[in-house]
Structure 1
Amino acid sequence: MPLVTIGINHKTAPLDVREKVVFAPEQMNNALHELIELPGLREAAILSTCNRTELYCNLQETAPHGPVIDWLGQYHRFDSQSLRPYLYDFSDADAVKHTIRVASGLDSMVLGEPQILGQLKTAYGVAAEHGTLGKYLRRLFQHAFAVAKHVRTDTAIGSSAVSVAFAAVSLARQIFADLSQQRALLIGAGETIELAARHLRGNGLTEAIVANRTPERAARLANEIGAMAISLTDIPQVLHQADIIISSTASPLPILGKGAVERAIRQRRHQPMFMVDLAVPRDIEPEVGTLDDVYLYTVDDLERVVAENIASRYEAATQAEEIVAAQTEHFMGWLRAQDVVSLIRSYRDRAERTRDDVLHKAQRQLAQGRPPEEVLTFLAETLTNKLTHEPTAALDHAARDGRLELIAAAHELLHLPRDTNKP
């Protein structure tokens, strides 16, 4: 029952490769149903964020991983051979460990950041909604979520509010010493933008504009942080008012182009603009970064900023890795146990049939008027003989054939003393 994780992330691929294999929310239904139709694939889930795209699969024993990798490339019209150098491919215990590390924030750009756990829960929910989860992936995700909670509770991995959004705000503070004097334009209304809004307010910013494709979502977030809400089409009219622009949408095309930013800079009389593009694919055209008076950063650029916040977390991460290792083995134990479930069920069924047969005979004897003590003796002796006959016969044959390993296994399974002649 191989569990497999195939993916690409910020460690293995640059942004211009990662953005080519992103699954937008509106693609998930179609993508999951295409993926689950691959030969030999029993269960599937897809995680797609700005920093990673991962396929979680349960394959039949003999099913190869190649078709899954080929599908990922073909779905995004990306040459599979060109994609392979950037991919990782984990199986069984390695796949389980990776999933738990992702959920715990140990594989994130910002060590220990909690946002990825919510994203993984969303991926789990979407796969469950579309019926592509089964017994094994469902159990794996639930186990990963529980371990992530354990890690966050029992270590200092989440002791400070570190995330990509926090890193963006930290960088803004380096550009503008006093955020209370600045105005922010937040494009999008998802979790990343919500986090950025909270961090900005926590660092003194009081004026903000929220732009989103859906005005209702923009208004909801704007009300929470005391900001103004607009639609994406209104951005050109207010862009020049923004000192800080943070964008994170699921748009397949850029939201801001070089021309619009040039006009805003002229209206601002060349006062600097700080722009952070947290979206994959990018919301802001890369050419914007060539403009004077514009400081444009992408998610990859944040690595330098977040590195400053990681040093204090390494000790906690070491402790967290020990938890992950132990819980990976715990899950693998459960997984191995599933291989003998049918064997255990068959053994119990046979024992119960034997019990019922002997019990029926004993009840018939009682009905015929035989003394209860005699019937109880018959029941105990007959049941004991029937339940022990086959195992003892097998042990006798094993001893005659010199199969010492089977005898040793019997000692362990049946909890028998090594020397039965001893009292």
Structure 2
Amino acid sequence: MRIHFIAIGGSAMHNLAIALHKKGFKVTGSDDMIFEPSAGRLARFGILPQEMGWHPELITADLDAVILGMHAFIDNPELLRAQELGLKIYSYPEYIYEQSKDKLRVVIGGSHGKTTITSMILHVLNFQGKDFDYLVGAQLEGFDTMVKLTASAPVIIIEGDEYLASPIDRRPKFHLYKANIAVISGVAWDHVNVFPTFGEYMLQFEAFIETITPGGKLIYCETDKELRNIVENNNSEVTKIGYEIPAHNVKLGLTYLLPQNLPLKVFGDHNLMNLSAAKLVCKEIGIDEDDFNEAIVSFKGAAKRLELLFAENNTSVFKDFAHSPSKLKATVEAVKSQFEERKLVACIELHTFSSLNKKFLLQYADSMIQTDNPIVYIDEKTFQQKKIIPFTEIDVRTAFNNDRLTFFDNANTLEQYLRGLNFKNTNLLLMSSGNFGGMDLIKLARELNI
């Protein structure tokens, strides 16, 4: 099979390219810019484009398929050439389905927790020596790539994003996988540039349930009121299985799963909820409770999900991917409840199109209410790049409904401020889907005033 990737440098795209290369396919690709770690990984497997840019001469009639990434535009010269030749053009979720249509497909959807639930399942399956394929949205410890596709694995675990499949396919990605077993972790409005109202966003999850194969299973968070309404009003021929936070105990900064009193390396109600979903999925694919428990106690979490950067005495510094209001609130609550005796300095970088939408910004109201020192950072360059009128500190304080909040738009000023604080008996939580203006977070964590 000869496959060409248009916009090969994307996170999912380059991992899929590597997976197909490992499967024995002849893989080529193009992009106008490729950053690390994509560039290094593609180079290691000999499929990094020799030069950047779009090259329509690479699109030839003998290609079996072209896979189109979201980074490309509809007037991309390679795309136009592929259309002219009548080649089969897939989005990457379409091609994942094409490669897994004869497997048992488990699709993890929801506004939050997708990566962690998927990672927990993969960890358990790997720990128990099972044969499986996967697609996950983060680099996991013990896994070489974020995508694996083989001929032998009977099951594939897929993190199912609700964002659009490609520039020419406006369907949400998770609609294309046709799950046999589906998970919805919860619903909270996101991607306002595509779904401008909460109602339109909710419709995507209603449609997702309709894509589950007849006789399939839907595992869902029954404590989410909006989601419960969607599920209860749906008449699809699927078995519906609800879950909630499992019984647990927190002692001296550690969380224990009851009744076995199993010590966990992750914490917070949202992670315990994720664990419940992962456990139900594993049960459906043949992993019993004892085997699940044996494996889950060693799960450290997905990259950038409450990742511990530094800990000394009574101070811990965490990095988290939280950026949407629901994720922000859940992460703050997790750290605060796990370390009740410590103060919490929490800083979120607003980076996504949704979070920089002035109307959507109001969704962050009261999300940092449990924080002793709430901080919001927006890189001034982000406003320029996205051609958005900059927010003022008053705009942000008003939206967050928090007069104690401090606002920064310069990374150096933010870093100086953090270095000037006393972190004795205080935790620091850094949350972003960006990179805090290139700040060295590990160096900062190690040099705080403790």
TM-score (norm 2): 0.32
By percentage of residues, which structure has more helix?
1
Structure with greater contact order relative to length (CA < 8 Å, sep ≥ 6)? 1
TM-score (norm 1): 0.33
